[in-house]
Amino acid sequence: MNTNLIVPKNYNPLLPLKETEQAIKLIKDTFEFQLTSELNLRRVTAPLIVLKGTGINDDLNGVERKVEFPVKSFNDAHAEVVNSLAKWKRMALAQYGINESYGILTDMNALRPDEDLDNIHSIYVDQWDWERVISKEERTVSFLKKIVTKIYEAIKRTEFVLQEYYPLYNPILPEEISFIHAEELLQLYPNMTAKEREYEYAKKHHAYFLIGIGAPLSNGEKHDNRAPDYDDWLTPNSDGFVGLNGDIILWNDVLGQAFEISSMGIRVDKNSLLKQLTFEQAEDRKELLFHSQLIEEKLPLSIGGGIGQSRLCMYLLRKAHIGEVQCSLWPEEMRAECEKNKIFLV
């Protein structure tokens, strides 16, 4: 049996499969409307694949393999299924001529074959990817917090609409989202691992934004890895720490764990890109398409991120497994164990 699987005691889904699918559509439609209204976003189409070697695809933590294949019409040059669209979106802002304080939203579908499959991780990834043009003066932690608060309000309103249609879902999110830097979290729980620290803070506050992911902390370790060429995680911020990015983390009472639903941040400018590439010994990327355009300052300054569609549905519908709200591949032993415990994977 897969040891990563969590089986909640006496789990019983609140909605059967048919009603679950209807509720998923309600959540996705509602949240997308709320998010676009809050952040001034317009919907655009986005690629599933990009050409290898352009620097457009994201490296996430820098170690994950990408799904790639040769393309006959490109003389067998290789294309890659996207990991996310952080860099593509920024290029799209320039292509569409998006004005300051406005942005774009798209559905991002990805394949991540190196994921360790469990209740919240799957090979198939679906998220709302968004990007918004900002000014130089808005590259601050206070502006980052302002945008996070707007996203959280969109989530809260979606939770309210869900209850209107399905009264059995009583709202569980706190009125406000909390903020803490990864260094502050380390000082609170110095003898814990990064994930243990996330767990303890989530259990206490239920919804928070963890700032500053990617740079080493005072113990010499990173809270988690981040690629050097999309989020800005080395720039000092006005709170006296380093980093202009972070994760939205909720407390998942069904699974009894911290539950990340979004990774986002103010994106690198020319100076922070060069600094982070040097820090991560990845200076060879400067010649790639995306990086060269950014260094030549042909791309707008921006803030952006991804919000997990299946994760948000899973959370709001109190599901025990992400496979209850999306189709993916699961080991047969996991399927059997889930079915035995009323966790029905689609």
Catalytic residue among 159, 231, 247, 324: 247
Catalytic residue among 58, 138, 239, 269: 58
Secondary structure E strands in the chain: 41-43, 49-51, 68-71, 77-81, 103-111, 124-133, 178-181, 207-211, 245-252, 257-266, 302-308
Would you call 263 a catalytic residue per the annotation? yes
Catalytic residue among 118, 184, 224, 260: 260
Query: How does DSSP assign 229-271, residue by residue?
Result: TSB--SSB-TTSSB-SEEEEEEEETTTTEEEEEEEEEEBP-HH
Would you call 260 a catalytic residue per the annotation? yes
Tokens 């699987």 found at: 5
Would you call 129 a catalytic residue per the annotation? no
Catalytic residue among 32, 80, 84, 112: 112
Residue 196 near residue 189 (C-beta atoms within 8 A) = yes
Catalytic residue among 34, 84, 127, 272: 127
Question: CB atoms < 10 A from the CB of 102, how many?
Answer: 14
Would you call 112 a catalytic residue per the annotation? yes
* One-letter identity of residue 49: I
108 phi-psi bin (left φ>0, alpha ψ -120 to 50, beta other): beta
Q: Judging by DSSP bridges, how do beta strands 77-81 and 49-51 pair with one another?
A: antiparallel
Positions marked catalytic: 58, 112, 127, 247, 260, 263
